[in-house]
A and B are shown apart, each in its own frame.
Chain A
């Protein structure tokens, strides 16, 4: 039998299905040894039959596998039917990339710390500067307000300016009073009064019907003198300022009179 005759005889098929006689099987094996490329022919027949068998397969009961595993591998813990294990692919050079990333993150952290510190310091400096500026502005604002108040008083159309001239005790001293004719409100401008000695305070007096009446204490703090609101008088004969003890006196100390005027 030639190789071709052998192939078309159907002996390989009989052999593959497992029903060839002993004699036939021996002959097939002889041919397979003689013509090794017949192995491929046999393999194709077997694969076809295997697919046929797989297409007809019937799954055993689910519990069967565990029973079988217990029998074949007795006493082993992991015979339980488990989900298939998926093996993670180990990445080549992964550790180098990891080291590089670690190094990079450390550097980034250091840079970040330095930057943070610098920015924090700048922030603090700015905050201090801002505080100073705000304080300055507040002061400016205060004095602005005071000045505009001064101006308001001076430019008031009802204001009657009264100049208090220095007495013999302090000939240089000058004070101005703005007396609102409509309300009787008295304002005093102590700008040109001499510096107040410690523990002393200027007191304004109004002379009404020959008697000196307390018109209020003049505040002269920090050497900044502003026009300030005093008491109101409907009428007055004269105004005088005396240097009294802090807080004022019920009656003027006449020999401490700094300025006075007669209306």
Chain B
């Protein structure tokens, strides 16, 4: 959905705090795709993933008063909600009956496989640039940021000491910043 106007983050937050419907639509138009992709990394089934996405936006709308700007950016907050709801759904009993929890290796593969699927997002250039990210850095960012693995899980999965995850993550994000710089 193309937008003929843009809000600054401050404007958007202020409008959402006052229950502005148009701001909610704007939020959807600009962030639904990114959040949906995060959910899909945990939940392969698109119907179920869409259900989760709907819960995410309902939660964002109903609990917007709990968003605290001093703790971080709006997107970070929304991404946390998405990730947590996806994880909660996976852990729920009803879900466990239906399918097994995907192993993390498969989930990581899913991320790289889906990188070029969505042609709608206009940052195709950025997407191509991001292919330059080292596989190692991509993996640690995806596991943490998209899939919400704990440091302990990441340590075991990647076979790196727990204490070096911080520095590894910093190196990954520094590389990301460098690539994103114009």
* Chain A residues near B (Cβ < 8 Å): 8-19, 21, 29, 32, 42-61, 64-65, 67-69, 71-73, 76, 81, 84-87
Contacts and interface: CB of A to CB of B under 8 A. Distances in A.
B34 A57 contact: yes
Contacts of A44: 177
B75 A50 contact: yes
3 A-B pairs with the lowest CB-CB distances in the bound complex, closest first = A57-B33, A10-B166, A10-B170
Interface in B124-182: 126-127, 130, 141, 144-146, 148-151, 154, 165-170, 172-173, 176-177, 180
Interface string B60-100: 01000000001111011001100100000000000000000
Interface of B: 1-5, 21, 24-25, 28, 32-34, 36-38, 40, 46, 50, 53-54, 57-58, 61, 70-73, 75-76, 79-80, 83, 111, 114-115, 117-118, 120-121, 123, 126-127, 130, 141, 144-146, 148-151, 154, 165-170, 172-173, 176-177, 180
A8 B61 CA distance: 36
Given A14-B166, A52-B176, A58-B37, 11 more contacts: A10-B170, A13-B172, A18-B79, A19-B154, A46-B76, A53-B37, A55-B126, A57-B120, A59-B33, A64-B53, A72-B24
B76 A71 contact: no
A46 B69 CA distance: 13
B63 to A, nearest CB: 13
B58 A16 contact: no
A72 B54 CA distance: 9
B166 A18 contact: no
Contact of A53 (B146, B148, B165, B173): B146
A29 B33 CA distance: 30
Contacts of A14: 144, 151, 165-166, 169
Tell me if B's interface is mostly helix, strand, loop or mixed.
Answer: helix
A223 to B, nearest CB: 92
B148 A19 contact: yes
A61 B120 CA distance: 12
A60 to B, nearest CB: 5
Main secondary structure of the interface of A (DSSP, over half): helix
Contacts of A71: 54, 58
A60 B32 contact: yes
Contacts of B114: 56, 58
12 contacts: A9-B167, A14-B165, A51-B126, A53-B37, A53-B38, A56-B114, A56-B146, A58-B118, A59-B118, A60-B33, A60-B50, A84-B5
A18 B80 contact: yes
A9 to B, nearest CB: 6
A177 to B, nearest CB: 104
A29 B72 CA distance: 10
A85 B4 CA distance: 8
Contacts of B24: 72
A21 B169 contact: no
B79 A53 contact: yes
Nearest to B112: A56
Contact of A17 (B36, B46, B57, B144): B144
Given A57-B37, A59-B32, A60-B33, A13 B72 contact: no
A71 B28 CA distance: 14
Contact of B173 (A45, A61, A65): A45
Contacts of A47: 73
A10 B149 contact: no
Given A19-B150, A68-B28, A84 B2 contact: yes
Contact of A51 (B1, B2, B4, B123): B123
Contacts of A8: 170
Contact of A18 (B117, B121, B145, B154): B145
A119 to B, nearest CB: 52
Contacts of A51: 123, 126, 180
A58 B177 contact: no
